[in-house]
């Protein structure tokens, strides 16, 4: 299987502020080009695009192509589970939303200390194994956002898991929070396949400071900046799939151009990625990937990723004021902590919102 996976997480929209305003014609065109190029892997989840990603996948992919041409992954939303009956209910809902009778890959979504405890309490591992025995799941894994030590604990207790989905990119490779390298090495130690998410870190590695971008352009002028991030992750020996949340036909075309006949990075190219990483780590930016896990359930309706983007790009106060018309202000934070509990990057969001407020609300 070719290594580029189509993530139904950042689909093209007609209205950028409305996550369900899908640009269907562009999505159809992207799906057609992706499959025509020989790629097959589609990744969705219960919560993506305000719960509408699975339905869009059904409409754009499942209803338009033979099932045997497709490899589809979905995820059990551990963060939404409260009672044992939630597990089979949501699984059945996902099959209905996607129009499928089985999932090729099925994952426990976003395991960390809190969500792993939920999965254990509600016997989610046993449930997915039962669905595998029934033919409704072909391969069983989980996505992970925590320490390598916890990953080792989970894989030791659950050797039945076949693969792990990890956040891996050259910026996070040695990160103390994300621990990309340590988590990758832990998965390899346990003999598990690795699927990579956030190879471009939510687009952060697509737009670089000139000093960093020039290093890549001097080496390979014809290659795009984000291609380096995806190729870095795809070059790891145990990675079987690299997921990319593509928001336009142009992004898809660029990814296909170098992933159709993929060639791993040389040692020199890999070292160049780390030189760029060193430049980025000295930038005073908030490393948010705009996954929006933090905004689900925010009692103050604060558009957290949008404010962090404004801050990183040093936008003027007028841009902040315009954004604040669509939700709570940064200073409205109640410090309840629910956002920090769900942040895959483990960001101190409460403190960062205070920084945003001090920047834009004191002028």
Q: Does domain 4-281 have CATH number 3.20.20.100?
A: yes
Please report, in angstroms and rounded to a whole number, the separation of the first and last CA atoms in the chain.
54
Domain boundaries, the chain: 4-281, 304-360
Q: Tell me, what's the pLDDT at 284? A: 57
Q: Tell me, what's the pLDDT at 318? A: 80
Mean pLDDT per block of 10 residues along the chain (363 residues) reads: 96 93 98 98 97 98 98 97 98 98 98 97 98 98 97 98 98 92 98 97 90 95 97 97 97 97 96 94 78 90 91 80 89 94 90 90 74
Q: How far, in Å, are 84, 101, 137, 181, 204 from residue 264 at the CA level?
A: 44, 36, 31, 17, 22
Calculate the CA dihedral of residues 301, 306, 308, 309 and round it to 10 degrees. 180
Q: Tell me, what's the pLDDT at 127? A: 98
Taking the C-alpha atoms of residue 181 and residue 166, their distance in angstroms, rounded to an integer, is 10
Q: Tell me, what's the pLDDT at 285? A: 74
Taking the C-alpha atoms of residue 31 and residue 50, their distance in angstroms, rounded to an integer, is 21
Q: Tell me, what's the pLDDT at 319? A: 84
Q: Tell me, what's the pLDDT at 163? A: 98
Q: Tell me, what's the pLDDT at 316? A: 77
- Rounded to two decimals, what is the model's pTM? 0.83
Q: Tell me, what's the pLDDT at 313? A: 73
Q: Tell me, what's the pLDDT at 363? A: 55
Q: Tell me, what's the pLDDT at 22? A: 98
HEC string for the chain:
CCCEEEECCCCCECCCCCCCCECHHHHHHHHHHHHHCCCCEEECCCCHHHHCHHHHHHHHHHCCCCHHHCEEEEEECHHHCCCCCHHHHHHHHHHHHHCCCCEEEEEEEEECHHHHHHHHHCCHHHHHHHHHHCCCEEEEEEEECCCHHHHHHHHHHCCCCCEEEEECCCCCCCCCCCCHHHHHHHHHHCCCEEEEECCCHHHCCCCCCHHHHHHHHHHCCCCCHHHHHHHHHHCCCCEEEEEECCCCHHHHHHHHHHHCCCCCCCHHHHHHHHHHHHHHHCCCCCCCCCCCCCCCCCCCCCCHHHHHHHHHCCCCHHHHHHHHCCCCCHHHCCCCCHHHHHCCCCCCHHHHHHHHHHHHCCC
Query: Are the C-beta atoms of residues 98 and 63 closer than 8 Å to each other?
Result: no
């Amino acid at each position: 299987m070719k290594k580029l996976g189509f993530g139904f997480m950042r689909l093209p929209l007609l209205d950028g502020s409305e996550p369900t305003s899908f640009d269907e014609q562009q999505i159809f065109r992207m799906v057609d080009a992706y499959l025509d190029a020989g790629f097959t892997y589609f990744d969705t989840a219960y919560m993506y695009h305000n719960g509408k990603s699975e339905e869009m996948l059904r409409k754009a992919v499942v209803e338009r192509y033979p099932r045997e041409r497709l490899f589809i992954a979905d995820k059990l939303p551990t963060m939404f589970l409260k009672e044992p009956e939630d597990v089979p209910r949501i699984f059945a809902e996902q099959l209905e939303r996607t129009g499928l009778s089985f999932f090729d890959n099925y994952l426990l979504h976003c395991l960390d200390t809190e969500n792993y405890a939920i999965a254990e309490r509600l016997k989610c591992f046993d449930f997915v194994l039962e669905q595998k025995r029934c033919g409704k799941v072909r391969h069983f894994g989980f996505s992970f956002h925590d320490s390598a030590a916890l990953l080792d604990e989970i894989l030791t207790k659950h050797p039945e898991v076949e693969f792990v989905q990890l956040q891996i990119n050259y910026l996070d490779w040695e990160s103390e929070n994300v621990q990309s390298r340590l988590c990758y090495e832990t998965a390899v130690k346990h003999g598990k396949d690795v699927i990579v998410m956030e190879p471009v870190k939510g687009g952060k590695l697509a737009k670089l400071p000139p000093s960093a971008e020039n290093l890549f352009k001097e080496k390979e002028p014809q290659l795009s900046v984000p291609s380096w991030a995806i190729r870095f992750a795809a070059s790891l020996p145990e990675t079987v799939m690299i997921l990319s949340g593509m928001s336009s036909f142009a992004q898809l075309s660029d990814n296909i151009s170098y992933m159709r006949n993929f060639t791993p990075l040389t040692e020199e190219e890999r070292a160049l990625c780390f030189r760029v990483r060193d430049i980025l780590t000295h930038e005073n930016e908030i490393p948010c990937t705009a996954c929006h896990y933090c905004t689900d359930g925010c009692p103050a309706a604060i558009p957290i990723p949008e404010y962090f983007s404004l801050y990183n790009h040093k936008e003027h106060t007028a841009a902040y004021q315009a954004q604040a018309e669509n939700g709570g202000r940064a200073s409205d934070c109640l410090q309840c902590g629910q956002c920090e509990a769900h942040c895959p990057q483990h960001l101190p969001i409460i403190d960062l919102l205070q920084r945003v407020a001090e920047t834009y609300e004191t002028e």
